[in-house]
Chain A
Amino acid sequence: MLMYIYLAITAFILVLVVVNMFRKKNNIFYQIDAALVMVTLILRLILVK
């Protein structure tokens, strides 16, 4: 059960990161940061890592 709560939290944070990445204007470094965070979050979400 704890694992599914963890996965739900991970998915929620991933959505926030993606939304913010699209909203952020004129800051490519912020977007790259967000992309790197997305990699680890997606891997967590599919239980890789």
Chain B
Amino acid sequence: MKKRIPLNYITAAVLCVIVIVLVIVLAMQFGLANEKEPIYPGPGVTDMKMLSTWFPALAGTNGDTEVYILDSGVEGASMLVLGGTHPNEPSGFISAIMLIESCQPSSGTLFVIPRANNSAFTCTDPQEAAPMRFTIDTNNGTRWFRFGSRATNPTDQWPDSEVYVHASSGQQLSGSETRNLNRAYPGRADGNFTEKVAYGITQMIQSEDITITVDLHEASPEYTTVNAIVAHERALDLATLALWMVEDDMKISVEASPKNLHGLSHRELGDYTDTLALLMETANASQGRLHGRIDSALVTSGVDKFYARAYGYGSLNVDYPETGISISERCARHITCLKEFCEVYDGDKGLISLGEMPSYDEIIRNGIGHYLSDPQ
């Protein structure tokens, strides 16, 4: 007598096939997260190296990242710009790309790392429903950019401990900070993934004797440190002089780096290297707790009726108009201050100048896309 295949075997087999198809589709979708947006080096770029040049252990890992070098050919001071420490704070990343594509320093050397935490560009923050990409219109086309996470991708570093202990100070922070690059400085050669990336950047600063380091960030409009320059005590004079130069254009404050808050670039890079360590914050609605739907338009325009209403209630630390705070305005803040840090630096390492750069008003008027290369 012929034995019949039980019905539950047939349904289970059919479901297994459906599962395999679903997994393939989802894995392909996931693969898109590893796709990098193109960056088109401009005429000022003289060399491009990987961070593993300074810390070979990073080679072949998701922590290795591009370092663009813009050497003016005129001896002078040097500046390192860190974009993408937190890839959900896009104005720092876009400002760094703008420098790579359109800056031509006239003295000194500019180093730019657009994706400081390269791994964090390959994921988004859980439960935020954030877009994987956003777009910016250039003069002749639209370019896409990754919107990433505040923290290293958990596929590169996992699990998080309950309590994150900062290695060199012993400071205890929430376990969620374990994968935060800006809590990992100065880093450790034998530390976790994020600490190794931080160590690579610290090694580079020491080896290249970088004069000024600026870490570009954004903060939610309700956060206390926003539209601000945070400076290590050795960089306070530089930050204050730059503030005097830009305060006609924008409202901005200078804050001293807290000595008891460890792991941050403006604290540890200043303590462990000779660089003048600075960090900048602009107001980004897509990062806050009050925004409505988060999409590419919110990331770039900053228009959000809930933030405008919160501003009306006096609940924010920045002026938040109904027209939003656009990514052009946020990048204009970063670029203008970077330019002034260079202009006012008067140390013993010579001069550094970013050359001809658009003014704050020009960037806002023309849009940041005007200063990015067209898609190729």
Contact = CB atoms under 8 A, between A and B. Distances in A.
Contacts of B23: 39, 42-43, 46, 48
B29 to A, nearest CB: 9
Given A35-B16, A39-B19, A24 B8 contact: yes
Instruction: Please classify how large the interface on chain A is, using the bins under 10, 10 to 19, 20 to 34, 35 or more.
Output: 20 to 34
Given A22-B9, A43-B26, A2 B159 contact: yes
A39 B22 contact: yes
Contact of B18 (A6, A18, A21, A35): A35
Interface in A8-30: 18, 21-28
Interface of A: 2-3, 6, 18, 21-28, 31-32, 34-35, 38-39, 42-43, 46-49
A10 to B, nearest CB: 12
B19 A35 contact: yes
Contact of B155 (A27, A39, A47): A47
Nearest to A48: B30
A42 B19 contact: yes
Majority DSSP secondary structure for residues of B touching A: helix
Majority DSSP secondary structure for residues of A touching B: helix
Nearest to A19: B12
A18 B17 CA distance: 12
10 contacts: A2-B158, A26-B7, A31-B12, A38-B19, A42-B19, A43-B27, A46-B27, A48-B27, A49-B26, A49-B30
Nearest to B15: A35
A26 B30 contact: no
B11 interface: yes
Nearest to A37: B19
A4 to B, nearest CB: 11
Given A6-B158, A26-B8, A46-B23, 5 more contacts: A2-B158, A18-B16, A21-B15, A24-B12, A39-B22
Nearest to A22: B12
